């Protein structure tokens, strides 16, 4: 057994004896590692144990193994890495700046199972043959998704999505180059005026980051209720209650779907509702909530702003046979005001590609939109459209005409 393995074994034994919780007491584990290292150094002087050349590296390795995610911890600590995924124990990938890389890390089947168990321990979520998929949040805010055989062919498929960019306001997106100053000013005004915003884009386009940034424009005195499948949003606002879905128990009871959260949010005196992402029938409950006079925002997977509007007109039909497009389409036209579409470039950069306003009109069963900003191939440029509800801007003390005036 080499020196690092001896250190790890001794630290784990002391953790067990002292009843420490590595997932909650990182500082205590760090002190314990330092204590064991000092004792180990003294013993190595007499030749009782092998000498460790890189003491700092050994301490970090033991800390990662006991209190972190072992071989994966270095990727979690690397701020340039956005996502980590395991296809099989010998294939560990990371996404860095929007591009995937195959790492040199090779695990064993036992290590993968141990890592997944450790990650799920703090979430309270389970993974077994009756529930072969799991979505969970890690203590650091990362999102975990795991699929087990026989849904996968042979090995567990593990994804850990990090949130490298924590934009707390639209100014952060301007600094990152994702948004122009002029467009950010308009979006800020739309949120302050109480317009309902739908954020669209592909996977990893930055929809959650955009929702986080838009929420930074909500007036400080307003109360926000968020509803998500798994906690991802991290709003910096003062008065926020975050809700997440719950899986059914082993008996098949106790499940709380997103539809239920949206309905419950309306009973919690919200000034704003933020839904992390709509995928299915919960879109109907969102539209009803937005139509009840409570402003809000949500995200949706779509290829363009126009597709996002079409999709939000279709998803509510999944709620039941009694829901018709004759009801949904005009409801979308009156409930959704602004659509912000995001895209990812080949370089991995995420940018706002479109901002459209929903006029409130329906022509031949199609919701009418107006381009506020569009991508001309190189940059975001002002279109010829105008946002709806100018009266709301006026009540909020915003001079909409001056804001939309082209800059020199």
- DSSP letter assigned to residue 314: H
Q: Please classify residue 108 by burial: count the beta carbons closer than 10 Å to its beta carbon, then call 0-12 exposed, 13-18 middle and 19+ buried.
A: exposed
pLDDT score at 404: 84
Distance from C-alpha of 381 to C-alpha of 308, rounded to nearest angstrom: 20
Nearest-5° Cα angle at 21, 19 to 16? 35
Residue ranges in the chain whose pLDDT is less than 70: 1, 164-166, 406-408
Distance from C-alpha of 294 to C-alpha of 272, rounded to nearest angstrom: 6
pLDDT score at 1: 57
Q: Please classify residue 221 by burial: count the beta carbons closer than 10 Å to its beta carbon, then call 0-12 exposed, 13-18 middle and 19+ buried.
A: exposed
In angstroms and rounded to an integer, the radius of gyration of the C-alpha atoms of the chain is: 25
pLDDT score at 164: 65
Full set of structural domains in the chain with CATH: 3-68 (no CATH), 72-161 (3.30.450.90), 170-404 (3.40.50.300)
- Assign 3-class secondary structure to 169-236: CHHHHHHHCCCCHHHHHHHHHHHHCCCCEEEEECCCCCHHHHHHHHHCCCCCCCCEEEEECCCCCCCC
pLDDT score at 14: 87
Phi/psi-derived region of residue 388, left when phi > 0, alpha when psi is between -120 and 50, beta in every other case:
beta
197-219 core/surface letters (b: 16 or more CB in 10 A; e: else): bbbbbeebbbbbbbbbbbbbbbe
pLDDT score at 253: 81
pLDDT score at 165: 60
pLDDT score at 125: 78
Residue 70 to residues 74, 81, 101, 359, Cα–Cα distance (Å): 8, 16, 19, 53
């Amino acid at each position: 057994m080499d020196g690092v393995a001896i250190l790890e074994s001794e630290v784990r034994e002391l953790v067990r004896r002292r009843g420490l919780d590595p997932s909650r007491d990182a500082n205590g584990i760090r002190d314990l590692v330092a204590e064991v290292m000092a004792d180990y150094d003294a013993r190595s002087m007499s030749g009782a144990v092998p000498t460790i050349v890189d003491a700092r590296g050994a301490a970090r390795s033991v800390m990662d193994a006991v209190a972190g995610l072992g071989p994966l911890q270095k990727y979690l600590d690397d701020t340039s890495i956005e996502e980590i995924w395991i296809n099989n124990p010998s294939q560990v990938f990371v996404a860095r700046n929007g591009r995937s890389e195959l790492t040199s890390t090779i695990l064993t089947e036992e290590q993968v199972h141990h890592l997944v168990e450790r990650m799920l321990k703090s979430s309270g979520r389970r993974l077994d043959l009756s529930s072969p998929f799991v979505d969970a949040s890690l203590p650091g805010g990362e999102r975990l998704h795991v699929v087990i055989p026989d849904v996968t062919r042979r090995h567990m498929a593990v994804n850990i999505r990090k949130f490298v960019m924590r934009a707390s306001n639209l100014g952060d997106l301007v600094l990152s180059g994702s948004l122009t100053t002029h467009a950010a000013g308009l979006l800020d005004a739309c949120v302050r005026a109480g317009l309902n915003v739908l954020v669209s884009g592909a996977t990893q386009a930055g929809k959650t980051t955009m929702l986080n940034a838009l929420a930074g424009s909500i007036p400080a005195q307003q109360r926000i209720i968020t509803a998500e499948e798994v906690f991802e949003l991290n709003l910096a606002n003062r008065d926020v209650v975050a809700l997440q879905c719950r899986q059914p128990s082993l008996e098949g009871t106790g499940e709380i779907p997103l539809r239920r959260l949206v309905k419950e949010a309306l009973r919690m005196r919200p000034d704003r509702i933020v839904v992390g992402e709509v995928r299915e029938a919960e879109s109907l409950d969102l539209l009803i909530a937005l139509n009840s006079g409570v402003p809000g925002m949500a995200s949706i997977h779509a290829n363009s702003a126009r597709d996002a509007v079409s999709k939000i007109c279709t998803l509510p039909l999944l709620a039941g046979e009694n829901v018709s497009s004759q009801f949904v389409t005009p409801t979308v036209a009156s409930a959704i005001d602004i659509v912000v579409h995001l895209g990812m470039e080949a370089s991995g950069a995420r940018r706002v590609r479109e901002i459209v306003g929903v006029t409130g009109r329906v022509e031949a069963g199609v919701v009418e939109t107006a381009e506020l900003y569009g991508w001309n191939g190189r940059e975001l440029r002002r279109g010829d459209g105008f946002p709806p509800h100018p009266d709301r801007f006026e009540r909020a003390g915003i001079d909409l005409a001056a804001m939309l005036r082209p800059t020199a």
